[in-house]
Structure 1
Amino acid sequence: MSTAEELRAALVATLTESRSLTADWVPSVAAVPRHAFLPERFWADEDGGDTECRRDKDPERWLRLAYADVPIVTQWDDGAEDGEHTVPTSSASMPTMVVEMLADLDTEPGHRVLEIGTGTGYNAALLTHRLGAEMVSTVEVDPGVTSVARSALRAAGFAPEVVCGDGSLGWPVAAPYDRLISTVSLRTIPSAWLTQTRPGGVIVSPVSPLLGGGAIVRLTVGDDGTASGRFTRSSAFMLLRQQRYDGAPVDDYLPGEWPGDSEQSWTKVDPEAIGDGWLSLFACALALPDVYYRRNDYGEGRTWWLFDTAVTSWATVDSVPGESRFEVRQSGPRRLWDEMEAAHNRWTAAGRPGYDRYGLTVTPGGQTAWLDDPGNVLL
């Protein structure tokens, strides 16, 4: 059985070889014991599914997974003990993603850093090892997760400021910050983060638009209190609890039985062709920030439902394998499928741009997405 030190050295070698781990972070990743921040029981994304792993039953596998380049779920359903596990709500991120986001952060000694989403405490430990405890504050919304992370950090010899609170509010007590990093995803970047980050400072966060997809954005805060920057890579993080969204019931949109007062049309674009691609869905989502979808299967086909958050409009599209055109139904002042198809066509016409051609500008009043240049706003 390999020791923790041997497995940690192997992880450093793997991350270095893949060029995910930059030289300035090698000492911290080599020194911080990831396994010290994991519970006795967790669920690892191994072989395409979250499988339970218990240290008391299989200590060798537990330790191996602790240093594998895989995400690990540490909490389900906000910590509910009863019922089946349905939604993962706390985790240890995949080491590749951890070190790539730290590289995006571009932190140097002397920087004061705020982390949103303490989770296990491992990322805070890496920051503390590099910068010192007095330069790191970390905020976690879940009291139980906060307590466990604080204990794990102390046991491993790290003492950053650990706060239980609402991450969307930042932590003004230790502001201003040179760097802010979030390990939870957001629909919109909170204005509090802008005011608590110094001009010239950097914010790194996952962004998950309502419609779907997700990516890491790297923003630079300007002298005018706004922030702007490009996306760097795809991501799939758990949402900030304060920005979870539960759509209204279908009955609130549909007057009577389907198809209600909808108008029929046809499209040659299969909605599955959009939804099956993380990047294509993300591109459409940036252009339609107030639209979300649901899907339901019937026979060999699948119906896509599109809704707006204002509860004024809806659309359905039937995806049937082997067909060359697909039935569309739309109702309300907006034609949501037409908007989605147009967004997809714009992405295709632009050469199917990757994440790094998209960006975000954030102001105290909201945010706008753009392609290639902040002036080329997605509408």
Structure 2
Amino acid sequence: MATNPGDGLAAMRGLLAAVNEDLGAPIAPAWEEAFWALPRHAFLPDTVWVGDALEECSRQGSPKGWLQHAYEDDAVVTQINDGRDPQAGERWASCSASAPSIVFRMLNMLDVSAEHHVLEVGTGTGWNAGLLAHRVRSGSVTTIEVDPALAALAANRLKEAGVTPRVICGDGALGHQDGGPYDRVESTCSVRAVPPAWIAQTKPGGLILTPWESPWLCYSLLRLTVDGHGTACGSFFPYSAFMLMRGQRTDLRIYRDVVREDHVPDESSTRLPPQAVAGDDPAAQFAIGLQLGNVWRTWHHNPDVAGVVTRLWLATTDATSWAAVDWDGTRDERYTVWEYGPRRLWSEVTAAYRWWNAAGRPGPGRFGMTISADGSHTAWLDTPDRFVPQTG
């Protein structure tokens, strides 16, 4: 771990203090016991990737640096490119160990009791499954991982740590019926739609806790209560962002998949700054994403276009409609808009922003979701009977 064993203990103490500070109170004694029994570093691979450039940091090459990343209250990337060699040097994160403060925040929100049966979706390193198995009977925890290599590594780490949850390699969207029904279902990857199997495999009154994202914004947690009739309902919480479930990924690029040479867009202008809807305000982005459905966006700074300093691209995930909003770098009161396809995407964004603004600019914590037996998802504001409008 490190040349001086005391470095590890000091790092763990520092991390525990950081987690308690983030949560605003000491973690529950049962979780603190699990924290000390299952050191985070024991579940990390010998190589992790850090920073925006995903630079390698190895345990052998930089033991102190590796230990520092292991015990920072921050996420650390534990796999890139789904375990394959990067093509042309391009690296992207495909698995990570979540920041410990969000790990324990979610465990608190899950409200686990010793007698519960728990399903975890997204084993990853195995640390969260280990914490759960330390809290309840190991045989009452089932954890499922889609990546065979990650599942095997996690199973070995868990065995070495002395906890034995059931580790399944498979599609987390399908859950694991043989281990159910479950009192609690926790996902450690985000979803754009809650899989029906999770609801079907949860006991009446049981909880489902999952990170949520729309194509517009990856942000928030959704905690649902299952009613036993195929329906689940609950609220969003404004915490964190997670990697999307692999089966729900979309791999789209504007110039490769969306915009074509024969497209002739319509031109207009807007007074709504693109930064207002896709800038630094997560509340605005969250509300807009709930309304837009399958619309994603990306910034293009300094495009090779005369008179354009910054361009905001919008597109549907089926690549049938797109829009671009241009800023020339001098005037803030007018922006040029280009729209193509059956949906007028910037018009939809404008309507969504105006609704959010008229509603009092609510944050994610005022929103909720109801999932019906037919699988439909209905977003609401404050109460389940106050529906959020859908633009598409």
TM-score range relative to shorter protein:
over 0.9
Per-residue deviation, 1:303: 2.2
For 1:88, the aligned partner's letter is: A
- Structural mapping, 1:115-126, within 5 Å: 115-126=120-131
Q: In structure 1, how many angstroms separate the alpha carbons of the residues matched to 2:336 and 2:270?
A: 7
Per-residue deviation, 1:86: 2.1
TM-score, normalised by the number of residues in structure 1: 0.92
CA contact (8 A) 1:44 1:70 kept: no
CA contact (8 A) 2:113 2:136 kept: yes
Partner-residue secondary structure (3-state), 1:333 = coil
Q: Which segment drifts farther, 5-14 or 305-314?
A: 305-314
Q: Please, which of 17, 21, 32 is the counterpart of residue 26 of structure 1?
A: 32
Q: Please, which of 243, 252, 256 is the counterpart of residue 238 of structure 1?
A: 243
Q: In structure 2, how many angstroms separate the alpha carbons of the residues matched to 1:82 and 1:246?
A: 16
Q: Which segment drifts farther, 116-125 or 80-89?
A: 80-89
Per-residue deviation, 1:247: 4.0
Deviations 1:204-233 (A, max 9, x none): 111110122321111111132111111112
Q: Please, which of 245, 252, 271 is the counterpart of residue 268 of structure 1?
A: 271
Partner-residue secondary structure (3-state), 1:69 = coil
Per-residue deviation, 1:311: 4.7
Confirm or deny that 1:327 pairs with 2:330. no
Q: In structure 1, how many angstroms separate the alpha carbons of the residues matched to 2:252 and 2:198?
A: 27
Q: Which blocks of at least 5 consecutive residues in structure 1 are unaligned?
A: none
Partner-residue secondary structure (3-state), 1:99 = helix
Describe the shift of the 1:16–1:82 C-alpha distance in structure 2 as closer, same or farther (beyond 3 A): closer
Q: Which segment drifts farther, 26-35 or 326-335?
A: 326-335
Q: Please, which of 156, 165, 171 is the counterpart of residue 160 of structure 1?
A: 165
For 1:287, the aligned partner's letter is: Q
Describe the shift of the 1:82–1:303 C-alpha distance in structure 2 as closer, same or farther (beyond 3 A): closer
1:305 alignment counterpart: 313
Describe the shift of the 1:251–1:67 C-alpha distance in structure 2 as closer, same or farther (beyond 3 A): closer
Q: How many residues align?
A: 375
1:170 alignment counterpart: 175
TM-score, normalised by the number of residues in structure 2: 0.89
For 1:378, the aligned partner's letter is: V
Q: Which segment drifts farther, 160-169 or 356-365?
A: 356-365
Per-residue deviation, 1:251: 8.5
Describe the shift of the 1:219–1:61 C-alpha distance in structure 2 as closer, same or farther (beyond 3 A): same
2:210 alignment counterpart: 205
Per-residue deviation, 1:249: 6.8
Describe the shift of the 1:253–1:152 C-alpha distance in structure 2 as closer, same or farther (beyond 3 A): closer
CA contact (8 A) 2:23 2:101 kept: no
For 1:302, the aligned partner's letter is: T
Q: Which blocks of at least 5 consecutive residues in structure 2 are unaligned?
A: none
2:194 alignment counterpart: 189
For 1:4, the aligned partner's letter is: G
Confirm or deny that 1:315 pairs with 2:318. no
Q: Say what the alpha-carbon RMSD is for the aligned residues.
A: 2.1
Per-residue deviation, 1:49: 5.9
Per-residue deviation, 1:182: 0.5
Q: Please, which of 350, 354, 357 is the counterpart of residue 363 of structure 2?
A: 354
Q: Which segment drifts farther, 175-184 or 227-236?
A: 227-236
Q: In structure 2, how many angstroms separate the alpha carbons of the residues matched to 1:205 and 1:138?
A: 14
Q: Which segment drifts farther, 331-340 or 67-76?
A: 331-340
Q: In structure 2, how many angstroms separate the alpha carbons of the residues matched to 1:232 and 1:317?
A: 31
Identity %: 41
Q: In structure 1, how many angstroms separate the alpha carbons of the residues matched to 2:235 and 2:217?
A: 18
Q: Please, which of 368, 371, 386 is the counterpart of residue 376 of structure 1?
A: 386
Q: Which segment drifts farther, 8-17 or 139-148?
A: 8-17
2:285 alignment counterpart: 281
CA contact (8 A) 1:121 1:149 kept: yes
